Amino acid sequence: MTIPRLHFAHLPTPVETLPALSARLGGPTLLVKRDDQTGLAFGGNKTRKLEFLTADARAQGADLLITGGAAQSNHCRQTAAAAARLGLACTLVLAGEPPRNPTANLLLDQLLGANIVWTTNDARDETMKRVEEEARRAGRAPYLIPYGGSNEVGALGYVFAMQELMQQGAHPDWIVVASSSGGTQAGLTVGARLFGYEGRILGVSIDKPEVELSRDIVAALAARTARKLGEDLTFNASDILVDDGYLGGGYGVMGPPEIEAIRLFARTEGLLLDPVYTGRAAAGLLDLIRQGFFKKGEAVLFWHTGGTPALFADKYAGELI
């Protein structure tokens, strides 16, 4: 089956060892998959998804991409960059209040030429649909990308990311990845089945306290993604590992565990994490290592999903130094 795909990500992204951090923690051997280096406006995991989503948009004749997220959304920043690269208009529906001085991802959204519509978190999806309808009435051909790019089209990016990892000769016992809207973990789950990864994938929940709901979401999306590839695969919630023990103060709230993780990765490996996703997932990873969850001698790969521009947002910068 031929799946439409554009190619603008810098692939394959490197797999690196983390020897200093591994020695400091005295636990498993740590590796990192550098999807912060996918190359599209500071990179990140959404770039892989957008290779398939924008190909689908182009196949449908779209001239406008619409998506939504938080004010400092990494997904929105990468969508705006993809739209600019492909000559498409872009409207971002962001939850929150417009700041007087935009910084970090929001600054980049504007630099990339995106039109921004502000709304509340509860009304985000409704506002996105309204913006889409208004665009159609105005004679545009909009393409609506869901929150996080997490549908069966976007998740294809991480099916083939798992193939890429296998081709790089990396066979870690564990993969640990930030999990929110579920598309990255769902794609990896399908890719593991298709390309023979025999380890385990652990999603550290960033914002959902309901583990069973998260597992159901990922399993259902994995099944739909497999069908998109013409594969009749079944996934159950029991196949999905999600840990919701590291939610802290809630989505986008950086606390002592995230600060410790960001500082530790920076000061042992020169590796920058972000305050919302990778900082929280890494905080979970550190705690699990200290608890002895992973065995000595195991290899654990931390899948870096990007997001580092958020380090420069006013709400975080002052807390990190």
Residue 203 maps to which CATH number?
A: 3.40.50.1100
Q: Residue 183, exposed/middle/buried by CB under 10 A (0-12, 13-18, 19+)?
A: buried
Cα radius of gyration rounded to whole Å, the chain: 19
Judgement on whether residues 160 and 128 belong to the same structural domain of the protein: no
Q: Is 214 a catalytic residue?
A: no
Judgement on whether residues 303 and 225 belong to the same structural domain of the protein: yes
Predicted TM-score (pTM) of this structure: 0.96
Judgement on whether residues 166 and 267 belong to the same structural domain of the protein: yes
Model confidence over 45-99: pLDDT tens digits?
Answer: 999 999 999 999 999 999 999 999 999 999 999 999 999 999 999 999 999 999 9
Q: What tokens appear for 59 in the block?
A: 């196949």
- CB-based contacts of 107-113 (< 8 A; 24+ apart in sequence): 108/41, 108/42, 108/77, 108/80, 108/81, 108/309, 109/76, 109/77, 109/80, 112/41, 112/77, 112/80, 112/81, 112/83, 112/84, 113/80, 113/83, 113/84
Residue 318 has pLDDT above 90, yes or no: no
CA dist., res. 137 & res. 114, Å (int): 20
Judgement on whether residues 297 and 184 belong to the same structural domain of the protein: yes
Judgement on whether residues 256 and 201 belong to the same structural domain of the protein: yes
Q: Which of 22, 73, 150, 205 is the catalytic position? A: 73
Residue 224 has pLDDT above 90, yes or no: yes
Model confidence over 135-167: pLDDT tens digits?
Answer: 999 999 999 999 999 999 999 999 999 999 999
Q: Structural domain tally of the chain?
A: 2
- Omega before 12 within 30 of 0, i.e. cis: yes
State how beta strands 174-179 and 200-205 pair. Answer: parallel
